[in-house]
């Protein structure tokens, strides 16, 4: 991003996006990047190894109970060790060129926002930032003059296609979805889905929460909300379609009927590298598309009867206000319960639907006027979802 090394902070370095980011850094020419801050939620061993490898200035574990473990693991190094919310604040306060915001869920909102105000560029992989508090978040980015580049493969694709094009010529933006592991399942088969089945994504390697969201199709709905906030078009200009091969990541339709697609092999290192190097591109060993052996590219609509989570997210996007934050909080609570084997697969969408319905009936939430209020809505929605799960 400049003449010297790119100063980079990675928030959420031990998750799938964080690890892929480190792979991109490792593949770069020597001295291209300087890791300033690196964080993890609980995985001390992987965090410490990465901090040592990259001579990180500060390493932070979000779980304060793991502070001593991290301190022991980094004994003898020059890396500063910290933990908990104050540690995350300390990591976020580093002056850097780019921040990779890869902490999963609502927990990533405050660190990403704080870090972005000190960085020239925010590479955002945490869609919940824009689901919970999209308008507030984008206003903060504009006020701090921080460049925001999306990392989700679909949003990175849209970013490339519409870059420097006249917005008035764009009619529709279609995000693609693999369909997850249960695309061809019947409702009866979905009732028997186990946790380990939901964690087997056919195309992408992701963390547990995002993989389950992909299986329920909630992830695609959250991505539509994210896209609407990022790119600023009306909500009815966004839609999603299933594309099982995961080669095409978005389709942008223009007013003259032309459709431009972005294509790449399904590998998160591609959009990650784009977010770090843009507007340049970096040559690497990522698998390229072999069009001679590519037999078919197919599309099909999302079955909202089998995957009601997608419809719930679209409804939340249309309603706006507190609805997306309630949706996110209820979903995170339900997915956590499913991963703990406390509820069944289909109960995830049921929990979200009943939580949203109950919050509206009781008129529990108004629009958030600041980040704290947005996070409070998310937290209260989680509590409400816990109550709902007792009854299903």
68 shares a domain with 199: no
- How far, in Å, are 77, 170, 182, 278 from residue 153 at the CA level? 36, 20, 21, 15
137 shares a domain with 189: no
268 shares a domain with 166: yes
* Domain total of the chain: 2
- Tens digit of each residue's pLDDT (9 = 90 or more) over 135-152: 999 999 999 999 999 999
pLDDT of residue 284: 74
Q: Which CATH number is 360's domain given?
A: 1.10.1740.10
129 shares a domain with 62: yes
Q: Residues in the chain with pLDDT < 50?
A: none
Domain boundary among 127, 150, 173: 150
237 shares a domain with 353: yes
pLDDT of residue 128: 87
Which tokens is 214 given?
A: 């992909």
- Tens digit of each residue's pLDDT (9 = 90 or more) over 217-257: 999 999 999 999 999 999 999 999 999 999 999 999 999 99
- How far, in Å, are 67, 130, 142, 147 from residue 315 at the CA level? 42, 16, 27, 29
DSSP state of 76: T
d(CA 14, CA 25): 14
């Amino acid at each position: 991003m400049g003449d010297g090394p790119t100063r980079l902070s990675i928030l959420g370095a031990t998750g799938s996006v964080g690890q892929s980011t480190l792979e991109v850094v490792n593949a770069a020419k020597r001295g291209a990047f300087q890791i300033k801050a690196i964080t993890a939620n609980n995985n001390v061993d992987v965090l410490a190894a990465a901090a040592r490898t990259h001579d990180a200035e500060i390493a932070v574990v979000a779980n304060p109970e793991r502070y001593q473990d991290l301190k022991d693991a980094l004994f003898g190094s020059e890396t500063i060790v910290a933990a908990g919310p104050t540690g995350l604040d300390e990591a976020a306060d580093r002056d850097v060129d780019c921040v990779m915001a890869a902490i999963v869920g609502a927990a990533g909102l405050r660190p990403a926002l704080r870090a972005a105000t000190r960085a020239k560029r925010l590479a955002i992989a945490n869609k919940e930032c824009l689901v919970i508090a999209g308008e507030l978040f984008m206003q903060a980015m504009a006020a701090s003059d921080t460049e925001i580049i999306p990392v989700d493969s679909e949003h990175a694709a849209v970013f490339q296609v519409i870059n420097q094009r006249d917005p008035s010529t764009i009619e529709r933006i279609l995000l693609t979805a693999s369909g997850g592991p249960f695309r061809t399942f019947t409702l009866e088969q979905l009732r028997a889905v186990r946790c380990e089945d939901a964690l087997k994504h056919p195309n992408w390697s992701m963390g547990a929460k995002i993989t389950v969201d992909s299986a329920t199709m909630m992830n695609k709905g959250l991505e539509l909300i994210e896209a609407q906030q990022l790119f600023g078009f009306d909500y009815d200009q966004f839609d999603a379609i299933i594309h099982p091969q995961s080669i095409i990541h978005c389709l942008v339709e223009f007013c003259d009927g032309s459709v431009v697609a972005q294509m790449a092999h399904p590998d998160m290192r591609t959009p990650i590298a784009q977010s770090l190097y843009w507007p340049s591109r970096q040559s690497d060993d990522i698998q390229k598309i072999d069009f001679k052996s590519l037999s078919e590219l197919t599309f099909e609509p999302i079955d909202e009867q089998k995957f009601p989570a997608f419809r719930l997210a679209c409804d939340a996007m249309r309603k706006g206000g507190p609805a997306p934050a309630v949706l996110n909080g209820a979903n995170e609570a339900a997915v956590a319960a499913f991963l703990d084997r406390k509820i069944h697969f289909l109960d995830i969408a049921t929990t979200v639907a009943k939580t949203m319905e109950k919050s509206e009936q009781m008129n529990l939430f108004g629009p958030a006027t600041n980040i704290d209020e947005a996070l409070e809505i998310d937290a209260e929605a989680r509590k409400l979802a816990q109550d709902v799960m007792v009854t299903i």
